[in-house]
Structure 1
Amino acid sequence: MLTQQKIIHALKDVEDPELHKSVVELNMVRDVHIEGTHVSLTIVLTIQGCPLKAKIKQDVETAIQALGATAVTLQFGSMTDEERKQLTASLKKENTTSEGMPTMLREDSGVTFIAVTSGKGGVGKSTVTINLAAALARQGKRVGIVDADIYGYSIPTMMKITEKPTMIDQMAVPVTKEGVKVMSMGFFSKDNQPVMWRGPMLNKWIRNFLVNTHWGDLDYLLLDLPPGTGDVAIDVAAMIPQAKEIIVTTPHNAASHVASRAGVMARHTKHEILGVVENMAFYETSDGERNYLFGKDGGSALAGALATEVIAQIPFAQPEENTGSSVYDEDSVVGEAFTHLAEDIIHIN
């Protein structure tokens, strides 16, 4: 026999697909009525026009039908402004300690922070970030990316992300692509307009990405830092002292020489250097011959200077033609290289 108690209990397993919390816990279930085997109810969404409303509808209907209901009439409403404020306050309370520090920055949070940096632009730092993140996600890890290159944001374009984060009052829900949660200045800049800010505003936005974003539970948060040793790199070093760093370079001696400065800064801020990733290391022809278009051994020279090791050599390859995305298929040569890198990082940590 169907009862309201049984229905509420069944719906505890239905999650809001963005917040990853039960629709019951979020108080989204309202006005449950039962007439024989016909159930009617209202689901109150966090915002009007919720992009994943169809997913919620399917999951609610499936859960109730599993109890024996032959018909489910589902209506949607939306939270009031006051309810959204209360929800935002609750989420923010989860995200911050009593001192206002982001909860994920506590030593016992279980989150491993990896800052991906380089000495100069154009070496493929963002490519390394998104492909490492995707590879970690394929290994079953919960992964997020902060596109901390505020001036040169590129992650949404490279991952072919067209939607925007959902905003619940002042709390952002990151966009998920390739199993990775993503936040970027690119979501908030209209028509590719340049960002013209000085240091204090940069610090504010990096902090916003940590505090006012509902990341949920993460195993890894990758930060795609701007090249060099400027304000953002300094702020991240101060804000996340436990972060580990990957230094990206090409094999070219000039690139590796400049990248050594980023490594020296990592040592100065006491960030552990996980190693060097040598991107665009070689081009492999169909017969297996390797052509070193940017020279050789730049990564090894950088690793030697920083007393670390080369943890990956990523070959040249075309982006996935069918998608236009810069995330490589896991079965491709480049994808396999990032799979090995992800496995090594998981083993290290």
Structure 2
Amino acid sequence: MATLKDISDKTGYSLATVSRVLNYDSSLAVSNETKRTILEAAEALAYSKNRNERKNYSKTKIICLLSLAEEEELDKLYYISIRVGIENKCNQLGIQALRFYNDIESMKNENFDGVIAVGKFSNQHVTELKSLTNHVVFVDFSPAEEDFDAVMVDFKKAIQKVIDYCLNTHYNNIYFLGGQETLSDKKTLIEEDVRTKEYCRYMKKLGIYDEKNISIGDFSAESGYHNTKTLLKRSEDTLPDVIIAASDPIAIGALKAINETNYTIPNDIAVVGFNDISIAAFVYPTLTTVKVYTELMGESAVDLLLEQLNGRTITKTLYIATELVIRESLK
């Protein structure tokens, strides 16, 4: 990564001048041309003014706690990608990151500075974490905005974006394959996923909601496959022309079920997934999906935790935007 000295060498201006320009020091009396030269050099050298990266975090130790058991993670590429983002960011900053799978009890034997908790946690586990440290960031879960930092996906806007795109491209009969999951105690079922809830709300707002056009399983490919097989037993004139799935594995299961019939994708039934996991570009047909920037979620969680360790006390909830990636499964 480029440094202040690199920019100073490139432009001929002093380190102090470069630093003050990049920090938008209004008391600095230099010409606009000087500012432009320094800013353009910074861009050219891909300089990033990041306070966290200028500090020495070699003595910082954090815990990445996943709500999943280790064997469950293999079926949840979404959470693997978030974890990789956390660990890569820590590695870049020289932070020691310990990994625990749904095991708060073992954490009590460690000395650490803070916790990044990935996944959905029960009230009991949230309380236990709070008793262990004042520095906790949740990812993909926000138990209490006034008490904890969180990094979330803006699934509400994402669902609206997908529905609007489908309607604007003349997919009028929209079916939703949702999923449910449990909290970290493996007992408490999350009543309604935000994607399911927003699909129902937005479709009702548009006046096109049909309770027959939704089914809920879990977030696996098997669930998507079996629910789609059931759907395909309908008479042809009642079949949807597009399926929106709450996750890519669900969507991949739907692709498999449709590919086993005489129906074609996307001409007869289109399919849209969520998350843009790595295999979405390799299934047949390649999967149109809502890209969730999972590694950025992990990196952002590290940034929030470091802000806490540096003294910030006001909580933050960060929402990461999404992008609709068009591939072959949607016209």
**For the superposition of Structure 1 and Structure 2, which TM-score range results when normalised by the shorter chain?**
under 0.3
Greater helix fraction, Structure 1 or Structure 2: 2
Greater strand fraction, Structure 1 or Structure 2: 1
